[in-house]
Each structure stands twice: as C-alpha cells, then as structure tokens.
Amino acid sequence: MERLAKICKKQITVTILAILCGFLVAAVILACTGYSPADAFAILGEGIFSKPKYIVNVIVKATPIILTGLSVVFAFKVGLFNIGAEGEYIVGTIVAVIIGITCDFPPVIEFLLILAGGMLAGALYGAIIGFLKAKFGIHEVITGIMLNWIAFYAANFVVTLDRFHQPDSSSTYEINESGMDLIYRFKMSESGREAVKNSPLLLETVGKTDLNIGILIAVAAAILIWVILRKTTKGFALRTVGFNKEAAECAGISVQKNVIHAMMISGALAGLSGALMITGVSHKIMTLAATENYGFNGLSVAMLAGNSPIGAIFAGLLFAGLFYGGGSIQSTIGAPSEIINIMVGTIVFFVAIAGLFPMIVEKLGKKVAKRG
C-alpha cells in the first residue's frame, strides 16, 4: 500500500489517472443524456486515427496549443499564471498579418520576419502584464483577462481597416505568398503540385491538409525552453523567483526584473504560436464573435503537462486529438461536441486535486491494516 501511495504521487500517474477520470465523467454525462459512451469514444478514436489525413490534422491543431502551453508552463515556473496567453496569441496574429500584407521580402526572410514580428508583439503584450504585476502588484490573471478582450477587439478592428480588409468578406487580405509556410509554397509550386498529384500518400497528408513546419518549431521551442530552465543561469534565477521570492531577493536575484522577463518570454511563445497560425494555416485574420481559445487551451495543456516543457508536446497532441476527433462525435451520433470541453475541464480539475489519489490509497491502506 505504501508503495502504491508513492506511485500515486508521481506526476505520470497523476496525469494518467486524471485523463481516465476525464473519460469516466464524460461517459457518465453521455450515458445520462441518452448517448452510448462506447459508440462516442469509438467514433472519437476513428476521428483521430482512421486516416493519415486525420493524424496530420491533429498535429496541425496541436501546434498552436503546444506553443501557448509552453508559454503558460514558462510563466508558471516563475510563479505566474499566464492566462493572458490568449491575448498574446491574438496580437501575434495581428502583427503577423500586418507584416505579411505590407512587406514583401524574399521568401525565407519574409517568413522569418513575420515570426519575429509575432513574437515581439506577444513579448511586449506579456511585458505589460509582467510590468503591472512587478510595479503595482496587480494580479496577472485580472490584467491577462482584460488584455485578452482588448486584443480580441483589436483584431476585429484591424479587419475593418481599408488597408487590410478584403472587400465583400469578413476577413483581411491573405499575406503575401513569400511569407507563407515552406510546405504550402512547395505544394503550390509547379514541381510540388506534380509530386503531390502523383503520390496518393502525399496527396492525403500534404495536399488535403494544412501541414506546415510549425510543429517542428514547436518541438524545438519545447526543447529550448527545457534547456533554458534547467541548464542556464537565467533559468535558475527564474525558477528561484518561482520557488521562493524572499530567498531570491536575498541571493541578489531581482524579483521584479525576472517577473517582467518571464512574462516577455512567455508572451513571445504565445505570439509565435499566433504568427505560425498565420503563415501555416489561416494566412489572414477574420472577424470573430468569440475568442478561438488557443491561449485558454494552452492553460489546459500546461496543467496536464504538469508544467513540463516536454510534457506540453504530448499534452498538446492529446487535447488537439480530443478536440479534433470530438467534432465527429457530433456529426455522427449527434451528441454535443462540447462534451470534449467538459472532459478537458474535468481532466484539469483532477490534475488540480492530484492530492486526492494518494490520500485515498493511504486511507484504504489504513483500513486494510486494521482488518489484518
């Protein structure tokens, strides 16, 4: 029993148990509303794995939330809750579109310029949150949420501007082709078109999807963040601030400076996520009625990942799979696809109450011991 309790305290066990609990709660809700959970989960699985196209789509969907997840992870290491990832993501898309439409440099330079612009925008937006926290002690959750809505309306505002608005649509013009993703430009080039046409596998995985190099950048970012946090002096300073502010101050590590730096890096990651969405998938921004939740889903990713940068890759893939496959639950058996939102919320809830699992085992252990 003691060993079992020890196992229950491990991060990976908590993660798996939380996911199981998420499925269990979803199953109960589905059963109560008259749908077969078995059918729903089977469809969910098919919607993710049955075609190479689906798997590629999951990867495409995972890219932005892995990066926003990393953004949240990074801030959390410094004891900050970056709920503002949503807004940082949005300003990333705004600046990416503005650069992509107004500038027209040679292909790779344009692409990199867009990414840099998106990151800078996100970094500055994050810096506002960090600055207000460091100088005025305003809780980052409140500022973050307010800035999310301001970014949301700013995006809708940019769409209405004559310079960017595509007539007779609810979106901006597309960015110049020089700024688009490498795989997209290959696909659209003559030799690329030929290659895609002649290979059924390429047609399925590249031709019919928005596959882009973003996932490689996301994975590289995860590794880089892990290295920064674990292997550099800056990372050590940041984590010290996260663990114990007083100790950090005593050791000569400035809390204020590190809070602002952390929010800048965190914001840059979310901004990168937005810029990659523009270069790789949407190529423009649209007027939206509600936020797309890439930032908020990043929160869930970070929670499930147990604040591990590498874990964020897997958590991002899992949630992307759930959200993508969840769409087919609604189209096939009619159960509201929002069951996935409930499931994800439940998973995060069980991660939050991770202390429950070893507690149950210990109580059971005591009971067993009494009987024995």
Partner 1 sequence: MGNNILLLLSITVMYATPLIFGAMGGLVSEKSGVTNIGIEGMMRLGASTAVCVTYATGHPWAGFLAAGAAAGVLALLHAVASVSLKADQTVSGIAINLIGPGISLFMTRQMFGVTNTPAVPAKLPKIFGNKASEGILGYFNFDITVILALLLTIAAWFLFYKTRWGLRVRAVGEHPQVADTLGISVYKIRYFCVILSGILSGFGGAAMTLAIISNFTPTAISGHGFIALAAVIFGKWKPFGVYGACMLFGLAQALAILLGGADLIPSQILAMLPYMLTIAVLVLFVRNVSAPKASGVPFEKGQR
Q: Scan for tokens 């991060």, then name that residue.
A: 11
Q: Which residues, in sequence order, are CB contacts of 16 under 8 Å at separation 6+?
A: none
DSSP string, 307-342: T-HHHHHHHHHHHHHHHHHHHHHHHHH---TTHHHH
Q: Is 19 in the site for partner 1 (CB under 8 A)?
A: no
Work out whether 289 is an interface residue with partner 1 (CB under 8 A).
Answer: yes
Convert 33-58 to b/e letters by CB count within 10 Å (16 or more is b): eebebeebbebbeebbeeeebbbbbb
Q: What's the alpha-carbon Rg for the chain, to the nearest Å? A: 22
Site string for partner 1, 321-340 (x = CB under 8 A): ---------------x-xxx
Q: Quick one: 14 or 58, whose CB is closer to partner 1? A: 14
CA dist., res. 282 & res. 94, Å (int): 12
The answer to whether residue 33 forms part of the interface with partner 1 (CB under 8 A) is: yes
Nearest approach in angstroms of CB 212 to partner 1 is 28
Q: How far is the CB of 191 from partner 1 (least distance, A)?
A: 43
Each residue 82-121 as x (binds partner 1 by CB under 8 A) or -, in order, gives -x--------------------------------------
Q: Which of residues 338-357 bind partner 1 (CB under 8 A)?
A: 338-346, 348-349, 351-356
For partner 1, which is the closer residue by CB, 170 or 189?
A: 170
CB of 149 to partner 1, least distance (A): 5
Residues 114-173 touching partner 1, rule: CB under 8 A, are 132, 136-139, 141-143, 145-150, 153-154, 156-157, 160
Q: DSSP letter at 173?
A: P
Q: Using the rule CB under 8 A, is 31 a contact of partner 1?
A: no
* Per-residue CA distances from 230 to 90, 234, 245, 306 (Å): 29, 9, 19, 16
**Cβ distance to partner 1 smaller for residue 141 or 286:** 141
Exposure string over 320-358, b if 16+ CB within 10 A, otherwise e:
bbbbbbbebbbeeeebeeebbbebbebbbebbeebeebb
Interface ranges with partner 1 (CB under 8 A):
29, 33, 81, 83, 132, 136-139, 141-143, 145-150, 153-154, 156-157, 160, 289-290, 296, 299-300, 303, 336, 338-346, 348-349, 351-356, 359
